[in-house]
Amino acid sequence: MPGFRGGRLHQIDVSGTAGRLSLDMDERIRRRRDMMRLMPELPEVEAVRRRLEPAMRGARITRVLLRRKGLRRPFPRAFASRLEGRRIRSVDRRGKYLLIALDSGDTLLMHLGMSGSFRIGRGATRRKSAAAGTRTRHDHVVFTLSNGVVLTFNDPRRFGVMDVLGDGPLASHGVFAAMGPEPLEPSFGGAALARALAGKRVALKVALLDQRIVAGLGNIYASEALHRAGLSPLRRSSTLATTAGRPAPGGVRLAVAIKAVLREAIARKEHPGRAGRFRVYDREGEPCRTPGCRGTVRRISQAGRSTFYCPACQR
Ligand SMILES: [Zn+2]
């Protein structure tokens, strides 16, 4: 058994042909825990939006099939009937949420949770093969559209969310009322970031995960942006703003870095052939990729989540 080394049950060799890591049990458990928390972040959700938009926009929802009572929480009352017969005006994103605007004024809100994904098919569902049966076991919601598209939401862990928001400005709805700026909007920059971080004592990495500070960032891209900006994840958030709440130099740098890592990640999702690699995320013990830096990537825990950074060039 490849996991056994010299009788030490705690060593497991995870090297395939290319890997050379040897992880002990604690590390393995920690990694698994982190993997399970690997929620889709802005780039993943944006990639889904770009795939859904051409399939959905302009079509009418003819049928909504709910295979269970809910996902993370129950579907709202009259969920299907508020959607059926309605035309889809637009397919947007806010933070990590997908927003499907309907001609009734309602908005279908969807969140991928940890494991949610969409399949875009056409025409009636095929007869089930054994393999398809396993795959479709977690197909919880099926939307049939007037253009022949069948959109299936699959979510093995069922942490996804689907809801219908009534008419009225988005900002008046629960989660969106407190949500921070969209980092890819032109209006987002050092000034907006400084305003959000001014006076905050919390560590910078922890602040970046807070959706009220910036929308859409999660564990991966927060670490990546900090590395790109050369800022320590442990730094106190308020140091990126002057006492007057204007951006300190690091604040401008970080806003630029956030935009850059998100844009590059979206591009990678759209052209997976050019698989890029993370600068620090999941690279503990490996050499830093900052040109001229001889540091080694470290992993620490902040607010229960892994942070990866280079202590040599991130200050
Ligand atoms: Zn470095």
Beta bridge partners of 117: 154
Average pLDDT, the chain: 87
Catalytic one of 86, 94, 96, 283: 96
What tokens does 49 get?
């939006």
Categorize the per-residue pLDDT at 39 as very low, low, confident or very high, splitting at 50, 70 and 90.
Answer: confident
Reply yes or no on whether the pLDDT at 131 is more than 70. no
CATH number of residue 273's parent domain? 1.10.8.50
Q: How many domains does the chain have?
A: 2
In a domain, 223, yes or no: yes
d(CA 268, CA 254) in angstroms, rounded, equals 21
Distances (CA, A) of 49 to 45, 53, 110: 6, 6, 11
Per the CB < 8 A criterion, the answer to whether 110 and 27 are in contact is no
Q: Is 96 a known active-site residue?
A: yes
Kindly indicate the confidence band of residue 242, based on its pLDDT and cuts at 50, 70 and 90.
very high
- What digits encode the pLDDT tens for the residues 243-301? 899 999 999 999 999 999 999 999 888 776 555 579 999 999 999 999 999 999 999 99
**Which has more confidence, 117 or 128?**
117
Give the integer Cα–Cα distance in Å for 203 and 102: 40
Range of the domain at 156: 42-173
Q: How far is the CA of 68 from the centre of ligand 1 (A)?
A: 49
| Catalytic (active site) residue 41 | yes
* Same-domain check for residues 163 and 215: no
Residue 33 belongs to some domain of the structure: no
Rounded alpha-carbon distances, angstroms, from residue 295 to 23, 62, 287, 298: 21, 57, 6, 9
pLDDT digits 0-9 by tens, 4-15: 333 333 333 333
Residue with tokens 């630029």: 256
Asked, for residue 35, whether it belongs to a domain, the answer is: no
Model confidence, pTM: 0.84
Cβ neighbours of residue 190 closer than 8 Å, sequence gap 6 or more: 247, 251, 252, 253, 254, 255, 256
Residue 195 banded pLDDT, cuts 50, 70, 90: very high
CA–centroid distance, 284 to ligand 1, in Å, is 12
Same domain, 235 and 167: no
- Look at residue 136 and tell me if it is in a domain: yes
From the candidates 41, 44, 46, 182, give the one annotated as an active-site residue. 41
Q: Are residues 153 and 213 in the same domain?
A: no
- For 61-100, what is each residue's pLDDT tens digit? 999 999 999 999 999 999 999 999 999 999 999 999 999 9
Whether 251 contacts 190, CB under 8 Å:
yes
Query: What pLDDT was estimated at residue 268?
Result: 87
Using DSSP's 3-state secondary structure scheme, residue 124 falls into: coil
Which pLDDT score, from 0 to 100, does residue 269 have?
A: 80
Q: Tell how far the Cα of 254 is from the centroid of ligand 1, in angstroms.
A: 16
Residue where a domain stops, chosen among 143, 173, 203:
173
Q: How far is the CA of 19 from the centre of ligand 1 (A)?
A: 22
The tokens describing 196, both together, are 């959000």
Q: State residue 130's pLDDT score.
A: 55
Q: Separation of 303 CA from ligand 1 center, angstroms? A: 23
Placement of tokens 């990639």 in the chain: 47
pLDDT greater than 70 at residue 170: yes
Confidence of residue 18 (pLDDT cuts 50, 70, 90): very low
Q: What is the pLDDT of residue 17?
A: 36
Domain boundary among the residues 173, 199, 216 is at 173
pLDDT at 190 over 50: yes
Which runs of consecutive H residues, i.e. helices, occur in the chain? 25-36, 42-56, 79-83, 130-136, 174-177, 190-197, 204-209, 219-229, 249-270
